[in-house]
Structure 1
Amino acid sequence: MSTVKKIGILGGTFDPPHAGHLRLASHFAKLLHLDALLLIPSGEPWQKGTGITPAETRLQLTEAAGIDLARAFLYLKISTQVGIDRIEIDRAGPSYAIDTVKTLRERFGADASLTWLMGADSLIALPSWNSWEKLSQYVNFAVATRPHHDLNEQTDPELSPDVSKFLKEHRAMDSTALENSAYGLIYLDESLNVDLSSTELRDRLKSSSRSAIASEEIPTHTLEIITKLGLYQ
């Protein structure tokens, strides 16, 4: 991927990866004309507490989801390459996004457009991330709004003054600005409402409604591995 110029980054615990992740990835891959999209499972998700599925297993689930994502791109005629990156799993200690974006910037060079993809809930929680205010020195952000998060300081009680200020300073009103900028911009996309939660899916997988979970919620190949390994019982 050394010649790649527009790279999307979708990080997360991926415990498990779900259809919401794939919808977010597909939407921004097409909108931002991404050359490549990296799915990056966290090694030690320091904010998640205990009870996390082992990193190598989550990597396996993410690789399976990547197969379904690549097939979706083919079907949708999206030319974005899909990559699964072990960068956080191979790095010792807590998985901090700031370390990841620094490494990716070194890998792809100063001119590549790097864009971190996330939902609005992650943007709201950004001040809890390690060295969060430095992230925009390395990447752009593409943010999909989610139900109950309108990202308006007057009407969204969860939006902190820090994030509101961050938005005002970095917001781009046009998605094409991200394609032409290596880092430093935030684009809010209100056309995609994804309301799926890994926590909720884990709870359902542990319940009697497990058999009702379909590929519309968890990618087919991921669900096969979950079943094969007997995860989330």
Structure 2
Amino acid sequence: MISEHLVTLKKIGILGGTFDPPHLGHLKLAMHFAKLLHLDTLLLIPSGEPWQKSSGITPAEIRLELTEAACADLARALLYLKIPTQIGVDRIEIDRAGPSYAIDTAKALRDRFGPQVNLTWLMGADSFINLPSWRSWDQLLGLVNFAVVSRPNHELSTQISPEIKALLEKHQCIDANAIEKSLFGRIYLDNSLSVDLSSTELRNQLKSASREEIAFKQIPAHALEIITNLGLYK
């Protein structure tokens, strides 16, 4: 019989987003937390109907295809770095009718994987700052942990709201090991990596004369091939 304290929790990371397009910032964040949190699995979840975005986004099935292509590069990078995290793309939000709310996805994933799995939602500081605008945001930590990476121009100490300050006082952990051992309910702020790229800014940059150079530097190779073939973001 194996002692309960020797049983290793299965750790699943969740990286949601519009992925319009997926870029190297997404991959940097994914690789960083895959290694730091010793994730067994990392799921990238393209939004179906992103309620906080404009109506001019790329169709969901194309964004799904781009995300799957980017994940091929991500999986290759993890293999090279000898990080054993398994990568998957989940179409849960694309298949669910209506606006894509994180709370609905978190509930569905908790139901799918069960109560004894560590679920950690990965995000940038910009998303974390805007958390109070999310639907039922105050219920999320009853289902998942948060792992937050810093973003330039999104300084938590100056932009933090009273709601987020109270959330941190109750749930923040300083040590990454603490979030590994928690099924849900902890927040880890990571300042060792800064991701300075957004899909919105990238789409605007791709309309410039330097499109090809920017795309080559910022978009994973397999996703860029699809973008080129379909003539996207011009």
Q: One fold, TM greater than 0.5?
A: yes
Contact kept? 1:4, 1:35, Cα under 8 Å: no
Q: Which residue of 1 aligns with 2:76?
A: 71
| Alignment pair present for 1:95 and 2:100 | yes
* Equivalent position of 1:16 in the other structure: 21
1:201 aligns with 2:206: no
More helix by share: 2
SS in 1 for 2:110: helix
1:192 aligns with 2:193: yes
> Is 1:86 the equivalent of 2:87?
no
Give the drift of 1:4: 7.9
- 8 Å contact from structure 1 (residues 4, 36) kept in 2: no
**Mapped contact 2:9–2:118 kept (Cα < 8 A):** no
TM-score, with structure 2 as normaliser: 0.95
Which of 59, 64, 86 is 2:64 aligned to?
Answer: 59
Identical columns (%)? 70
Question: CA offsets per residue over residues 14-53 of structure 1, 9 Å max, x none?
Answer: 0000000000000000000000000000000010021010
Aligned to 2:129: 124
Normalised to the residue count of structure 1, the TM-score between the two structures is 0.95
RMSD of the TM alignment (CA)? 1.2
Whole-Å separation in 2 of the counterparts to 1:102 and 1:144: 23
Partner of 1:211: 212
Once the two structures are TM-superposed, the CA of residue 148 in structure 1 deviates from its matched residue by 2.2
**Contact conserved, 1:141 with 1:187, CA < 8 A, in 2?**
yes
Distance 1:227 1:8, change over 3 A: same
Ranges in structure 2 where 5+ consecutive residues have no aligned partner: 1-7
Q: Is the 8 A contact 1:4 1:108 kept in 2?
A: no
**Alpha-carbon distance, 1:136 to partner:** 0.2
The runs of at least 4 consecutive aligned structure 1 residues that moved more than 6 Å come to none
Partner in structure 1 of residue 3 of structure 2: none
Other-structure match for 2:233: 232
Does 1:112 pair with 2:139? no
1:180 offset after TM fit, Å? 0.8
Q: Given residue 100 of structure 1, which amino acid in structure 2 is its aligned partner?
A: T
- Structure 2 residue 166 is matched with structure 1 residue 165: yes
Task: Report what 2:49 is aligned to.
Answer: 44
Cα distance in 1 for residues equivalent to 2:229 and 2:114: 40
Which amino acid in the other structure matches residue 183 of structure 1? F
Q: How many residues align?
A: 227
Cα deviations across residues 81-122 of structure 1 (Å, max 9, x unaligned)? 000000000000000000000010011110100000000000
- Measured in 1, the distance between the counterparts of 2:27 and 2:217 equals 10
| Cα shift readout 1:153-196 (whole Å, capped 9, x = no counterpart) | xxx1x211101111111000100111111000000000001101
Partner AA of 2:192 in structure 1: S
Alpha-carbon deviation of 1:214? Answer: 4.5
